[in-house]
Amino acid sequence: MQSAYEQMMEHVRETGALGHVAQRLGWDQETVMPRGSASQRGDEMAAMETVLHARRGDARLGEWLSEAEADAAVQADPVARANLRHIRRDFDRANKVPQRLAAEIARVTSVSQGVWAEARAKDDFAAFAPTLKEVLALKREEGAALADGGDVYDALLQDYEPGATAEQLTQMFGALRPRLKALIDAVRGAEAPPKVSGTFDEGAQMRLARHVAKTFGYDMSRGRVDKAVHPFSSGSGNDVRITTRTAADDPFNCLYSTIHEVGHASYEQAISQDYLFTPLGQGVSMGVHESQSRIYENQIGRSRAMTGWLFGQMREAFGGFGIDDAETFYRTVNRVHDGYIRTEADELQYNLHVLLRYDLERALIERELEVDTLEEGWNARFEADFGFAVERPSNGVLQDVHWSVGLFGYFPTYSLGNVYAGCLHEALRRDVPDLDARLAVGEVEAATDWLRDNLQRHGGLRPPRETIMHATGTEPDEGPLMRYLETKFSDLYGLSI
């Protein structure tokens, strides 16, 4: 006879496998699906979500959970306890959201994604607004069901960063914001490094991107690199795919989007195979996930040592490209520049883009802002933060896919991931004192092995903050990130801070 815990895990693994199938439908939609298939794909996604929702809220899970939670042998096993924590949370949440609502959210957000893409291409927010209103109404309804009388935004946030609250995040971001603004203002008053110019063959960009992905440890036998409008990583375990994008006049967009997504993908590929299809077999939160993509992209990928190696790879790929030495290349890669697009923002200004979205989406969920005034609110906040006006919706309120697919509560995890990355980088430097010497010759393993051993392989074993504390030995806060940024950009721009 199987124990209650064993029966439960068999059910959960089957649900996990079906969830992977649903993810693959999403990957296909973003990369190769014909445009005319959007409506049908919406119905397919709704059908998959109906099955998944029913399995997550299956009454048998409640019985198995009760028995397993009372089983001393299960409670003595840290892996089993962690599985119970995740399954209980998902079961309780699934039973708070009606199956009808879950299926409708899946259907509407699948179709909405195509509406958003077309509106973005035409710079027409009015064409997207009715669909966004529909998505927002559904997410407010879902949040209210999950909150059960509590804070609606906090309830939605749990899907991306379990245990976090808007109060905690607002306090952290409130401490981050003034120091960021002061540093940005100081940089704007200094002489800027040069910027890259010219035309860079997009096929050569993709070849270099795949080479760099492998250098950073991405296992191409269990993954692939494709192109998409909005780069992303999809999957876990033995099928983890990434996308990037190319622009003929900006090779860094492709290069660093790839490194960023490799950080996400490497996390998923490194998780213990023992956890495959279980709640522990994926990244524990989007904040922790983002810490991996950001430390790969920035603290490692944009370091003086690593860019010295990347400079040589760029010369091999493109020949002479107007930058004559590794130090100038380092300064160019880290150039602070004005821009509208979050995913193209420099390392210093990126968090201001995120905090704008965080404040706006909280206001939307809390009914302090409505879709009809969203574009106006976005543009006013952007000009106040960055000092120049948004001239078209694709550079403003239409630039991100997240709200079209219902990801309310997702945006703050980007800045939280930067905070976590700052903590991890400080600990990495402490534990690997010769890191720069290794990176300078393209040996990234010292960094990626440290991250794999201390964080990635454990998957969802510990709650998010405990995951960072286990890896670093300290409670996470914004201090390490700001010390890193202030040191780096004071050196780059000759500042006295």
Write the CATH number for 393. Answer: 1.10.1370.30
341-361 burial code (b ≥16 CB/10 A, e <16): ebbbbbbbbbbbbbbbbbbbb
List strands edge to edge, sheet with 239-244.
225-227, 239-244, 233-236
Task: Assess whether 317 and 460 both reside in one domain.
Answer: yes
By C-alpha distance, which of 421, 417, 413 is closest to 483? 421
Residue 241 and residue 41: Cα distance in Å, rounded? 20
In a domain, 357, yes or no: yes
Task: Assess whether 76 and 208 both reside in one domain.
Answer: no
Tell me, yes or no, if 261 is annotated catalytic.
Answer: yes
Distance between terminal CA atoms of the chain?
67
Task: Assess whether 113 and 173 both reside in one domain.
Answer: no
CA 267, distance to chain mean position in Å, is 12
In a domain, 353, yes or no: yes
Tokens of 70: 């009372």
What crossing angle do the helices spanning 125-147 and 350-365 adopt, rounded to 10°?
70
By C-alpha distance, which of 167, 370, 463 is closest to 378? 370
By C-alpha distance, which of 473, 446, 471 is closest to 461? 471
CA 437, distance to chain mean position in Å, is 29
Is pTM, for the whole model, over 0.85?
yes
pLDDT number for residue 232: 92
In a domain, 71, yes or no: yes
Q: Tally the domains of the chain.
A: 2
pLDDT tens, per residue, the chain with 497 residues? 899 999 999 999 999 999 999 999 989 988 899 989 988 998 999 899 999 989 998 999 999 999 999 999 999 999 999 999 999 999 999 899 999 999 999 999 989 989 999 999 999 999 999 999 999 999 999 999 999 999 999 999 999 999 999 999 999 999 999 999 999 999 998 998 888 999 999 999 999 999 999 999 999 999 999 998 778 999 999 999 999 999 999 999 999 999 999 999 999 999 999 999 999 999 999 999 999 999 999 999 999 999 999 999 999 999 999 999 999 999 999 999 999 999 889 999 999 999 999 999 999 999 999 999 999 999 999 999 999 999 999 999 999 999 999 999 999 999 999 999 999 999 999 999 999 999 999 999 999 999 999 999 999 999 999 999 999 999 999 999 999 999 999 999 999 87
Question: Do the strands 233-236 and 239-244 form a parallel or antiparallel pair, or are they unpaired?
Answer: antiparallel
Q: Provide the residue range defining the domain that includes 106.
A: 4-150
Domain boundary among 98, 125, 150: 150
Q: Which stretches within 148-282 are classed as H helix?
A: 152-157, 166-188, 202-215, 251-270
pLDDT number for residue 270: 98
pLDDT number for residue 228: 86
Domain boundary among 119, 150, 181: 150
In a domain, 48, yes or no: yes
CA atoms within 13 A on the CB side of 141: 14
Task: Assess whether 142 and 178 both reside in one domain.
Answer: no
260 carries a ligand binding annotation = yes
Residue 172 and residue 398: Cα distance in Å, rounded? 27
Task: Assess whether 134 and 214 both reside in one domain.
Answer: no
In a domain, 25, yes or no: yes
Task: Assess whether 170 and 28 both reside in one domain.
Answer: no
Question: C-alpha distances in angstroms, 127 versus 104, 112, 236?
Answer: 21, 11, 35
Residue 331 and residue 327: Cα distance in Å, rounded? 6
- Three-class secondary structure of residue 401 per DSSP: coil
Tokens of 327: 């130090």
In a domain, 156, yes or no: no
470 carries a ligand binding annotation = no
Residue 104 and residue 51: Cα distance in Å, rounded? 13
Task: Assess whether 135 and 188 both reside in one domain.
Answer: no
The answer for 409, left when phi > 0, alpha when psi is -120 to 50, beta otherwise, is left
Task: Assess whether 236 and 344 both reside in one domain.
Answer: yes
Single out the catalytic residue among 49, 142, 161, 261. 261
In a domain, 391, yes or no: yes
Tokens of 481: 């990130």
Task: Assess whether 423 and 480 both reside in one domain.
Answer: yes
pLDDT number for residue 344: 86
Q: Are 205 and 246 in contact (CB under 8 A)?
A: yes
Task: Assess whether 404 and 315 both reside in one domain.
Answer: yes
In a domain, 36, yes or no: yes
Residue 72 and residue 80: Cα distance in Å, rounded? 11
209-218 burial code (b ≥16 CB/10 A, e <16): bbebbebbbb
Residue type, 321: F
Tokens of 403: 């709200």
Q: What are phi and psi of 47, to 5 degrees?
A: -65, -45
Task: Assess whether 360 and 456 both reside in one domain.
Answer: yes
Q: Are 435 and 147 in contact (CB under 8 A)?
A: no
> What kind and span of H or E run contains 316?
helix 304-318
Residue 484 and residue 490: Cα distance in Å, rounded? 10
Domain boundary among 150, 182, 210: 150
Q: Are 242 and 263 in contact (CB under 8 A)?
A: no
Tokens of 240: 């983890």
Task: Assess whether 399 and 351 both reside in one domain.
Answer: yes
